[in-house]
Amino acid sequence: MAGRLEDKLALITGASRGIGRAVALALAAEGAHVILVARTVGGLEEVDDEIQKAGGTATLVPLDLTDFEAIDRLGGTIFERWGKLDILVGNAGILGPLTPTGHISPDEWDKVFAVNVTTNYRLIRSLDPLLQRADAGRAVFVTSGAAQKCRPFWGAYSVSKAALEALVKTWANEVEKTELRINMVSPGPIATKMRAKAMPGEDPATLKSPEDVAPLFLELVSEGCTRHGDVISFQS
């Protein structure tokens, strides 16, 4: 039986581990050909092995997402090979320093914004025309409750996620009259390396896993999804 995403082309950033890996496996299991984007070649190859063992297919793109010209080239390459893109999952992100805002160095601040905000703007800029060429383009980005909670010492991360939400909602409003549907997922506490860095004393066994949240992404990238411009909290 054909999967729900048969013949779809999906690009996932931060695909070598955590939520990105789980989403890539879930989309591939439903028949999508997945373009896996991450910095670490070894991590990408491990995910590719898992996908192939399950009968799926993938294309690996080892890429530093702060190489913005490479993101532009990626859009051109996808157009030349496939002519369109059905699904974009903007998952890659970094935590940055957990320190008083006045103690964050300009370099640290710029790095958090480069990965969490500017990378996603450049992906939108490069891939929007390809998503528009799809019959039912879908885009999902990963945000965080930190965008609203504004916890002490989480300044760079919180502000970057608030900026990401403004960026994605603006794009969603711009394409509202098209077939493209764009949303964000706020996963809540998930057992990932980023969470372990932020909360080193926390028992990961008490948390939801990346595999737990993957079905929500699958729902949001499906052709039947009508939600648009929303932030969907996985854990209320």
3-state secondary structure of 70: helix
Q: Using CA atoms, how far apart are residues 97 and 143, in angstroms rounded to an integer?
A: 17
Among all chains, which residue has been given the structure tokens 């990965």? 115
Among the options 157, 160, 180, 181, which is catalytic?
A: 157
121 labelled catalytic: no
Contact 85, 130 (CB under 8 A): yes
Q: What angle, 0 to 180 degrees and rounded to 10, lies between the N-to-C axes of helices 155-174 and 106-113?
A: 30
Phi and psi at residue 234, in whole multiples of 5°?
Answer: -75, -35
What letter does residue 190 receive in the DSSP assignment? B
Q: Using CA atoms, how far apart are residues 51 and 58, in angstroms rounded to an integer?
A: 7
Q: What angle, 0 to 180 degrees and rounded to 10, lies between the N-to-C axes of helices 155-174 and 119-133?
A: 20
Catalytic residues: 157
